[in-house]
Structure formats: structure tokens, C-alpha cells
């Protein structure tokens, strides 16, 4: 409203990912160890009706290992409300929801 421009920062979970094999195809465990903030989103889109930004980040070209984040504009800031991760390099899309503040319990 005051005409100032400032950079946006998007919260993102930091993960400790452990695999049961050397090929990173079988997940042993995935734990959130903290949060960080980033200024760049990849493959992102903005929905003006819901005031949300969604990102789909491929960890490699196939897109089988990836993460998806959803940030909702609330009280003047974009807040992370949903985050899904598929950490396996198995050729399939099988993401796990690791954060969900969007859906009621």
C-alpha cells in the first residue's frame, strides 16, 4: 500500500532423508530438521482467486524425485501451508505429505 517493493521469502522444510539402498530408490526415513527460506521458486504458478503460489521442483529431469509446496497469502505474507516430497529415484510419482496446515484435522 505504501509503494515499497521488497523481496519475497518462501519457507521450506529442511529434510534429513535416509535411504535403505545405494540407488536412492527405497526410502528408510524422512524427517523435518528445521526450516529455511528461499527467494526463488521453480515451475511455480499463482492463483489470484485463492491467493496461493504453488511450486513443483523436480530433483532430476524425470520428475520422479520432487517436492511440491503451496504458499497461501495470509495477513500480508505468503505462508507455507502444504508440502509434499517424493525423495525416491524409482521412476514413479509417489509423494508423501510432510506438512499440511491447509486441511482441517
Q: How do 77-86 and 52-58 pair as beta strands?
A: unpaired
The pLDDT score that the predictor gives to residue 105 is 57
- Inform me whether the pLDDT recorded for 75 exceeds 60: yes
pTM: 0.88
Contact assessment for residue 87 and residue 65, using Cβ atoms and an 8 Å cutoff: yes
Please list the alpha-helical segments (H only) found in the chain. none
The tens digit of pLDDT for each residue in 19-73 reads: 998 888 899 999 999 999 999 999 999 999 999 999 999 998 888 899 999 999 9
Amino acid at each position: 500500500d505504501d509503494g515499497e517493493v521488497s523481496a519475497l521469502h518462501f519457507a521450506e522444510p529442511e529434510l534429513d532423508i535416509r535411504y535403505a539402498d545405494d540407488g536412492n530408490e527405497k526410502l528408510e526415513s524422512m524427517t523435518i530438521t528445521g526450516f529455511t527460506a528461499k527467494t526463488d521458486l521453480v515451475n511455480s504458478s499463482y492463483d489470484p482467486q485463492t491467493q496461493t503460489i504453488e511450486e513443483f521442483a523436480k530433483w532430476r529431469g524425470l520428475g520422479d524425485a520432487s517436492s511440491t509446496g503451496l504458499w497461501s497469502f495470509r495477513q500480508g505474507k505468503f505462508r507455507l501451508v502444504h508440502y509434499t516430497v517424493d525423495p525416491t529415484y524409482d521412476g514413479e510419482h509417489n509423494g508423501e505429505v510432510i506438512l499440511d496446515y491447509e486441511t482441517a484435522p
